[in-house]
Amino acid sequence: MKIAVDVMSGENEPEVLIKGALQAVDESDVEIILVGDEGRIYSELKKHKDKGNQVSVVHSSEVILMNETPAKACRKKPDASVMVASQLVAKKKADGFFSPGNTGATITASLLNIKRVQGVSRPAIAIMVPTAKGHTLLLDAGANVDSTPKNIVQFAIMGDVFMKHIVGVNEPKVALLNIGEEDKKGNELSLKAYELLKTVDFNFVGNIEGHDVYEGNVDVIVCDGFIGNIVLKLSEGLGDVMMRLIKNEIIRNFSSRFGAFMARGAFRNVKNRLSAETYGGAPLLGINGCAIVGHGNTGAIATKNGIHTAVKMVKANINQLIKENTKRFMEDAE
Amino acid sequence: MKIAVDVMSGENEPEVLIKGALQAVDESDVEIILVGDEGRIYSELKKHKDKGNQVSVVHSSEVILMNETPAKACRKKPDASVMVASQLVAKKKADGFFSPGNTGATITASLLNIKRVQGVSRPAIAIMVPTAKGHTLLLDAGANVDSTPKNIVQFAIMGDVFMKHIVGVNEPKVALLNIGEEDKKGNELSLKAYELLKTVDFNFVGNIEGHDVYEGNVDVIVCDGFIGNIVLKLSEGLGDVMMRLIKNEIIRNFSSRFGAFMARGAFRNVKNRLSAETYGGAPLLGINGCAIVGHGNTGAIATKNGIHTAVKMVKANINQLIKENTKRFMEDAE
C-alpha cells in the first residue's frame, strides 16, 4: 500500500508534513512517497531514523499556491507537487495521495489525472464534521456549485458507502440539508433532490435544518457544494469568534487571568474536539483512485491521520462499492 | 405612531409579550394595539397601571401555529392574530406590526394585506447578526429561495438604506456572501449578482466568505434566502453545541462545579451579546408598511425592542427611501 504525500502545498513548512508522514510509517506498514523539493525532503529525512523502503521521494519543482486559480495553475505548472502526486496515483505507482494545498487544485489535478469512478458525474469533498455526539459526514463541501438533483443523490450514495465501510456505521442515516423539515420545503434543487432521495434504497431520513447539523443525529448530510462550503467556513469563523469572546469575558470578569488560566484546558479540549485533525483531511469521493484534501494549515497529526484514512479507503476498495451502488441506485432514481 | 403587536403567535404566553409591549409604552410615546384573545389581554392589562389611550386592544379569534403551512393557514384563518395585525397596517390603523410567530405566515400575511414597496420584486428578512465588532445586517434570511441576481441587488439596496437611516452607519460596506473572495468565484447566481452589484452606486466591497461573517468587517451581507436561512440556523445550533461542550469541559476539568460557577457570568454575557434581543426581531424589508418578524421564543425585552425598531423605521420613512433608491439604482443595473 503506497500513499503519495504532497508536502509542499500547505501553509506549514514541508518538514512538518514529513514528520507526520513518518509517524504514519511508524504506526503501520504503509509505504510513503514524499513529493516535493527533494533537497529539503532528504535533509529532513536525515534527521530521522531510516525507514528503509517504507519511504521514498519523488521530486517536483513547482508548487501551486493557495491563491492561484486551480485550472490555470494546473496547466501552467505540470510539475507542481499536487500534479505529480496525482499522476503517481494515475500511473498506479501509488494507491492514493494526500495534499494540504489549494483545494481547487487538488480537485482539478485529480479530475485531470485520475478521472472519475464510472457512473459518478461529479466527485465531492466529504468532510467529517464534529458534532455533540460524534462525527457526521457532510458532502459536498465545495467541489461543485450548481449541482443537479442527481448529483445530490450520488453524493448521498458515496457518503453512505464511506460511513458504512470506512467509519463502520450500520445503516447510516442520510439527510438532506434544507430550510425546513417538511418535504414541501426548500428551493427547486432541494425539492427535486428530496423526491429522488426517497426512491433510493438506503436509510434516507429526510430534511434537516441548519440548527441540526451539529447535533449529530444523522450520519451523512448532503447539500450542494456552495452551501457546504459556506457551512464549513461559517462554522470555523463562528467558532473562532465565540472562543475569543468567551476568553475575553472570562478575563474581564475576574479582573485577572486566573479565570482564563482555569478555563484554558477546557478550551483546548473543545478546540481539539472540534478540529478536523482526527480524520486528517477530507476525501474527494468519486475519484477513481484515492485523494485526501487536507486543510491549508495541516500539521503533522493531520498528515498522519490523512494517510491512515487513505489506507482505510484503499483497503476497503471503496471505489468499487461506489461504482456498484451508483449503478444500482441510479437505476432506481431514473 | 401606532404599532400593532400580535401577542398570540409566539412560543411564550401572550402575557409575556404584553409586558414587553407595555414597557415600550413606558419608554416612549408609542401607541400600542394588542392583537389577540381580548379576554386574556384585558385580564393581563388589569394587573398593570392604566396607560390611557396609549394602549388599545383588537380581538382576534384564531392563531396560526408554528408548524402550519403559511399560505394555507392564512387562507383558512382570516381572523388569525397575524392576519388581523397586518390588516391594521394595510388599513392605516397602525403604522407597523410585530409578530413573534410562524415566519412564513408573517411574510404571507404582509404580502397579502400590505403588499410590496413599488419597484421591489421580493421583500427580504433582514437579520442583525452579532459579530466580533458589533452588528452586521444579513439579508435575505429566508423570505425567498431561488432568488435572481436582481433580487440580490434589491436586497443590497434595502440593506444599505436600513444601515444608513436606522442604524446610522455612514456609507455602509455591502458584501456578497460567496465561496471565494475573487470576482470569478461562485455559482451562477453569485457570479451574476456580483457583476450587477458592481454597477450600483453604493459601497459594494465585493465577496466575503463564510468565515468572515462573524468578523464584523462589513455592514451588510446579501445572499439568497436559502443560504441566509441555513447561515442563521447553523449559527444558532453551533453556538448552542459549543456552549454545552465548553461548560461540560470546565465542569469535568475541575472535578467540581467551581469552574463552571466562575465561568457562568462570562457565558451569560456572551450569550446576551450573541442573542437577537437587541433589535427584537428582523424587519421584513420591502413591504409597503412596517413588519417586524420576531424569533419564535420572543420574550418581553425582544418585544419591547422590536416595537422600538418598528418606530424608528416608520419615523425614518424607510419605505420612501427604499422606493427612491430602488428606482434610481435599478436603472443603473438594467
Local confidence band at B301 (pLDDT 50, 70, 90 cut-offs): very high
Region label for A242, one of left (φ > 0), alpha (ψ between -120 and 50) or beta (otherwise):
alpha
Residue of A186, A137, A133, A134 lying closest to A161 (CA atoms): A137
What secondary structure does DSSP assign to B108-142, as a single string? HHIIIII-BPTT-SS-EE-EEEE-SSSEEEEE-SS
DSSP state of A166: I
What pLDDT does B181 receive? Answer: 87
- List the beta bridge partners of residue A283: A292
CB-nearest partner of A236 from B177, B211, B229: B211
- Judging contacts by C-beta atoms under 8 Å, the chain B residues touching residue A254 are 262
Q: Is the Cβ pair B242, A270 closer than 8 Å?
A: yes
Question: How far apart (Å, rounded) are the C-alpha atoms in residues B250 and A264?
Answer: 9
Tell me what the pLDDT averaged over chain B comes to. Answer: 91
Which H/E stretch holds residue B99?
Answer: strand B96-99
Same fold? B1-120+286-334, B129-274: yes
Asked whether A294 and A324 are in contact (CB, 8 A), the reply is: no
Characterize B232-259 residue by residue with b for buried, 16 or more Cβ atoms within 10 angstroms of its Cβ, and e for exposed: bbbbbbbbebbbebbbebbbebbeeeeb
pLDDT digits (tens, 9 = 90+) for B141-166: 999 999 999 999 999 999 999 999 99
Residue A206, C-beta contacts closer than 8 angstroms, at least 6 positions apart: A175, A176, A181, A183, A194
Question: How far apart (Å, rounded) are the C-alpha atoms in residues B149 and B190?
Answer: 7
| Residue with cell string 504503509 | A30
Strands (E) across chain A are located at 2-6, 31-36, 55-59, 96-99, 124-125, 127-130, 135-139, 174-177, 204-208, 220-222, 282-285, 291-293
Question: Is the model's pLDDT at B79 over the cut of 80?
Answer: yes
Mean pLDDT in each 10-residue stretch from start to end of chain A (334 residues)? 97 96 96 98 96 95 94 96 98 97 94 96 94 93 95 97 96 96 91 95 95 96 97 91 79 58 67 65 95 92 95 96 91 65
Q: How many CB pairs under 8 A join A and B?
A: 178
| Residue with cell string 494517510 | A307
CB proximity under 8 Å: B 145-184 to A: 145-146, 177, 179, 182, 184
Residue B248, C-beta contacts closer than 8 angstroms, at least 6 positions apart: none
- Judging contacts by C-beta atoms under 8 Å, the chain A residues touching residue B233 are 179, 209-211
Distance from CA of A99 to the nearest CA of B (A): 20
ipTM: 0.91
What secondary structure does DSSP assign to B142-181, as a single string? SS-SS--HHHHHHHHHHHHHHIIIII--SS--EEEE-S-S
* High-pLDDT (> 70) share of chain B, %: 91
Q: Is the Cβ pair A270, B249 closer than 8 Å?
A: yes
Determine contact: B332 vs chain A, CB below 8 A. Answer: no
- Judging contacts by C-beta atoms under 8 Å, the chain B residues touching residue A214 are 234, 237-238, 240-241
The set of cell numbers assigned to A138 is: 457532510
The set of cell numbers assigned to B140 is: 435575505
Chain Cα centroid distance, residue A174: 18
- Helix, strand or coil for residue A102? coil
Characterize A271-308 residue by residue with b for buried, 16 or more Cβ atoms within 10 angstroms of its Cβ, and e for exposed: eeebebbebbbbbbbbbbbbbbbbbeebbbbbbbbbbb
- Helix, strand or coil for residue B280? coil
Q: What is the CATH superfamily name and number for domain B1-120+286-334? A: Isopropylmalate Dehydrogenase (3.40.718.10)
- Helix, strand or coil for residue B312? helix
How would CATH label the architecture of B129-274? 3-Layer(aba) Sandwich (3.40)
Please name the residue of chain B whose CA is at the shortest distance from the CA of residue A70. B185
What pLDDT does A334 receive? Answer: 58
| Residue with cell string 478555563 | A263
Question: What mean pLDDT comes out for the span B45-58?
Answer: 94
Listed by start position, the domains of chain B span: 1-120+286-334, 129-274
CATH code assigned to A128-275: 3.40.718.10
| Residue with cell string 417538511 | A182
Which H/E stretch holds residue A107?
Answer: helix A103-109
Question: Virtual CA dihedral for A225, A226, A229, A234, nearest 10 degrees?
Answer: -150
Q: Is the Cβ pair A211, B244 closer than 8 Å?
A: no
- Judging contacts by C-beta atoms under 8 Å, the chain A residues touching residue B182 are 69
Residue of B132, B155, B127, B55 lying closest to B278 (CA atoms): B127
Interior angle at CA B60, CA B284 and CA B86, nearest 5: 20
Q: List the single range of A214-218, B26-30, B249-253 with lowest mean pLDDT.
A: B249-253
- Helix, strand or coil for residue B195? helix
Q: Is the Cβ pair A237, B190 closer than 8 Å?
A: no
Q: To probe the interface with B, which of A122, A145, A271 has the most B CB atoms within 10 Å? A: A145
Question: Is the model's pLDDT at B139 over the cut of 70?
Answer: yes
Residue of A159, A137, A143 lying closest to A106 (CA atoms): A143
| Residue with cell string 521514498 | A56
What pLDDT does A243 receive? Answer: 81
Question: What mean pLDDT comes out for the span B55-68?
Answer: 96
- List the beta bridge partners of residue A58: A35
Residue of A270, A281, A282, A304 lying closest to A131 (CA atoms): A270
- List the beta bridge partners of residue B2: B31
Question: How far apart (Å, rounded) are the C-alpha atoms in residues B112 and B107?
Answer: 8
Please name the residue of chain B whose CA is at the shortest distance from the CA of residue A253. B266
Determine contact: A259 vs chain B, CB below 8 A. Answer: yes
The set of cell numbers assigned to B21 is: 409591549
Determine contact: A239 vs chain B, CB below 8 A. Answer: yes
Determine contact: B230 vs chain A, CB below 8 A. Answer: yes
Residue type, A156: A
Alpha carbon distances (Å) from A273 to A168, B20, B242: 20, 40, 10
Question: How far apart (Å, rounded) are the C-alpha atoms in residues A147 and A151?
Answer: 6
Question: How far apart (Å, rounded) are the C-alpha atoms in residues B94 and B72?
Answer: 25
Determine contact: B188 vs chain A, CB below 8 A. Answer: yes
Q: Is the Cβ pair B227, A231 closer than 8 Å?
A: no
The set of cell numbers assigned to A309 is: 484514512
Asked whether B71 and B265 are in contact (CB, 8 A), the reply is: no
CB-nearest partner of B146 from A146, A187, A215: A187
Determine contact: A65 vs chain B, CB below 8 A. Answer: no
Interior angle at CA B329, CA B328 and CA B334, nearest 5: 105
Question: How far apart (Å, rounded) are the C-alpha atoms in residues A32 and B124?
Answer: 53
Q: How far apart are the first and last CA of chain B?
A: 37
For β-strands B282-285 and B124-125, DSSP reports them as antiparallel
Question: How far apart (Å, rounded) are the C-alpha atoms in residues B79 and A1?
Answer: 70
- Helix, strand or coil for residue A104? helix
Determine contact: B66 vs chain A, CB below 8 A. Answer: no
pTM of the model: 0.93
What pLDDT does B276 receive? Answer: 56
- List the beta bridge partners of residue A287: A116
What pLDDT does B253 receive? Answer: 62
Determine contact: B65 vs chain A, CB below 8 A. Answer: no
Q: Is the Cβ pair A259, B254 closer than 8 Å?
A: no
